[in-house]
Amino acid sequence: MDILVFGKNGQVATELSRLAVGDLQLTLLGRDEADLTQPEFCAEAIGAHRPDAVINAAAYTAVDKAEEEEALAQVVNADAPAAMASTCADLGIPFLSISTDYVFSGEGKAPWRPNDQTRPQGAYGRTKLAGEKAVAEAGGLWTILRTSWVVSAHGNNFVKTMRRLGAERDSINIVADQIGGPTPAADIANACLTIARRMSEPSPPSGIYHFSGAPDVSWADFAREIFNQSDIDCAVSDIPSTDFPTPAKRPLNSRMNCDTTLRDFGIKRPDWRKGLEKILTELKANPSS
């Protein structure tokens, strides 16, 4: 199977690159090969490669900066996926695009289901939701995989930030009223491949699905587990989101109901604590990651 992946240098694509074994061939495109600020180039890349499936793992993810650069985020998060999805529909190629829980309001405590009403609270969520709608409207065979709190040994993420700050300080204040499921990028990569393979089979399911790590936890408790597994002696003090204002509003509720993902693809929610162990092992072996 030949899969074309957009977002070569991102966390998920980095993990995808490690899975190219046996009959699986992955072609990963970075900004040099397909700049998402120029959606037409993304469409041309798909036409030139003619893969068996396309995975869009690229996005504008600077949540706070998006408040000032919504037009740019709109191009990357909505216009580019729209061009990809349209080309895939024309060529009969299955298309999978990764999205986010930020398309919801972030209110309440019930885990978000794929068909729940969307109501993004900021530019990042608005542009990702616009991308979802564009992909669906393009037709063809498509799947949206919403996820949350992505972490890995590469790029910028909460695990790496906590390890750095924990080594520098004796104590740290962390938000405790935002609840969600940390999701190792390696698990997302495996889920994407499972879905892509299934989409290439007869009568595949399609639509919007959710995937996040379990159990749900607060950022503060996530930090405690990072310090515990890292043997870092740094005390964590719980604070409310109001004590840590940001340009973009963060969702208090990032819980995700992943039942349909299990039902249609056989993909279970991964235990993020086990994924964290693997991430920390890699970081210890490669401190410069």
User: Which 3-state string (H, E, C) describes the chain?
Assistant: CEEEEECCCCHHHHHHHCCCCCCCEEEEECCCCCCCCCHHHHHHHHHHHCCCEEEECCCCCCCCHHHCCHHHHHHHHHHHHHHHHHHHHHHCCCEEEEEEHHHCCCCCCCCECCCCCCCCCCHHHHHHHHHHHHHHHHCCCEEEEEECCEECCCCCCHHHHHHHHHHHCCEEEEECCCEECCEEHHHHHHHHHHHHHHHCCCCCCCEEEECCCECCEEHHHHHHHHHHHHCCCCEEEEECHHHCCCCCCCCCEECECCHHHHHHHCCCCCEHHHHHHHHHHHHHHCCCC
* Residue carrying structure tokens 């587990």: 225
Closest CA to 184 of 65, 272, 259: 272
**CA pair distance 274, 202, nearest whole angstrom:** 34
Name the pTM for this structure: 0.96
Domains of the chain listed by start with CATH number: 2-156+183-213+255-270 (3.40.50.720)
Task: Cite the active site residues.
Answer: 124
pLDDT in tens, the chain (289 residues): 999 999 999 999 999 999 988 889 999 998 888 889 999 999 999 999 999 999 999 999 999 999 999 999 999 999 999 999 999 999 999 999 999 999 999 999 999 999 999 999 999 999 999 999 999 999 999 999 999 999 999 989 999 999 999 999 999 999 999 999 999 999 999 999 999 999 999 999 999 999 999 999 999 999 999 999 999 999 999 999 999 999 999 999 999 999 999 999 999 999 999 999 999 999 998 876 6
